[in-house]
Amino acid sequence: MDVFLKNKYYRRFSIASILSSAGDILFYLALMTYASRLKNYSLALSLIAISESVPRLLSSVSGYLADRTRNKYQKIVWLAMIRGILYLLVGFLFSQNIAGWNLVMMVIVINFISDTAGTYSSGLATPLIVDLVEKDQVASATGFTSGVSQVISMIAQFIGSGLLLFMSYSSLAVINGLTFVLAGIIYLSIARKNKEASLKQEVDQQSFFATIAMSYRQVKKATGLLTTVLVIALLNGILSTIEPMLSIMIAGNKHVMVIGTYAFTIALIGALMAVGSALGSIVGTMIFKKVSLFVIILFALGSAVWVSLAVLSKQIIFCLITYCLLGFFTGTAGPKLTQWMVSTVDRKILSSSVGLLNTILLIIAPLMTTLFTSLIAATNVSFAVIGLLVATAIVFVITLVVMTKTKKTNQS
């Protein structure tokens, strides 16, 4: 929070990022609503989900390209403007009399291009944030931006659902386009003040695989960092796995676990997790600024154990509290890991390294969710929760071992 209030350039940068996130959520909700009204809506919704997720899996590639980019400020301005123009085009298409499926396919392609540009833009943003703030402020800065973006995104979903009652799909697409244009203007104001620093930034000249190999070597060189990356990936997997498990458990025990209605209970679970994660990113990074990342991970894993026990005991209030707590500690751990990477990895391959980390996080979560939901289908939800408890205990022990080893290395 302090860095946001006291550093005007970082503040502008954050506002631009938050504007982009809010506009994206508004339009995503509109597109999903429109697609849900098509005859074969399940296929349309699946294609939209794929168009949203595939660009995120390209984080390593976009990070590599970002590291090779000169004058990153100029490029991030252009990317924001291009994304704005793309969504203004979507607004125009929605205003035309185009058949449902033809329109959706065109919009999905445009949305995919925009999201791919957004992933590249995120890669450019990482080293720029590091340049805008002090080295020891990276965790609080990235945490604040991430946390506020989550809160704004959650609020935007409710606003979007309300706007759809009296605004057209075309209007929401135009609003999204204008948020990107406004973000581009804000980025431009920062770029003009930091032009010389941007031109002096080192760029990576290696091949993609050489860069990834170098990132791996540097991460591996820092005692415990590589294992910690994998542990946090597993922690994110545990976080994403608990929600479907909890949803299934509630569906089978509606008489004791439902608050109001089933839909409201599921919405409440997602909201509390998002709130916990956002608070962890914003507040947790300040409260636990001097606390070891390993301790935060142990707190998170302890919370995961309590969530699992709450699910098994069918105590919905306890489930909600502990799940929110798990989100809080996971939200705190992410920025602290970024801080560690910034202090370890060569600046010119920072985006590639963070992109590699994001790719690992994105792959592990769906894999773990698929594994445990398949286990539920083959057995029952209680057996799967016990399996998750065992997995959490193993990760807890690994974290303790790595923490002890890292302390000994630092002391020697």
Q: What is the pLDDT of residues 115-165, one digit of tens each?
A: 888 888 888 887 788 777 776 777 777 777 777 777 777 777 667 667 777
Average pLDDT rounded to a whole number, residues 245-254: 80
**pLDDT, position 406:** 77
**pLDDT, position 24:** 75
Which range in 195-199, 222-226, 322-326 is most confidently predicted, on average pLDDT? Answer: 322-326
The topology (CATH level 3) of 211-411 is Growth Hormone; Chain: A; (1.20.1250)
Contact status, residue 240 vs residue 330, Cβ threshold 8 Å: no
Q: What are the pLDDT digits (tens) for 372-385?
A: 877 777 878 888 88
**pLDDT, position 293:** 87
pLDDT at 325 over 90: yes
pLDDT at 300 over 80: yes
**pLDDT, position 1:** 60
Q: What are the pLDDT digits (tens) for 84-113?
A: 999 999 889 988 878 778 888 898 899 889
At 146, list the tokens.
Answer: 């991430």
At 402, list the tokens.
Answer: 């790595």
Nearest residue to 24 via CA among 52, 4, 43: 52
Cα–Cα distance measured from residue 395 to residue 299, given in angstroms and rounded to the nearest whole number = 12
Q: Which residue has the tokens 């594994």?
A: 371
**pLDDT, position 205:** 67
pLDDT at 52 over 70: yes
CA count, 13 A, side-chain hemisphere, 359: 18
Q: What is the pTM of this model?
A: 0.75
Cα distances (Å, whole numbers) of residue 17 to 11, 234, 351, 354: 10, 27, 17, 17
What is the percent of the chain with per-residue pLDDT over 70, rounded to a whole number? 93
Cα–Cα distance measured from residue 361 to residue 359, given in angstroms and rounded to the nearest whole number = 5
Q: Across all residues in the chain, what is the average pLDDT?
A: 81
Nearest residue to 289 via CA among 138, 122, 392, 181: 138
For 2-6, 98-102, 170-174, which range has the lowest pLDDT when averaged over its residues? 2-6
Distance of CA 221 to the CA centre of its chain: 26
CB within 8 A of 304, min separation 6: which ones?
235, 238, 239, 242, 326, 388, 392
Q: Which CATH superfamily is domain 2-203 in?
A: MFS general substrate transporter like domains (1.20.1250.20)
Higher pLDDT, 230 or 300: 300
Higher pLDDT, 135 or 191: 191
For 160-164, 218-222, 223-227, which range has the lowest pLDDT when averaged over its residues? 160-164
Range(s) of the chain covered by CATH 1.20.1250.20: 2-203, 211-411
Length reported for the chain? 412
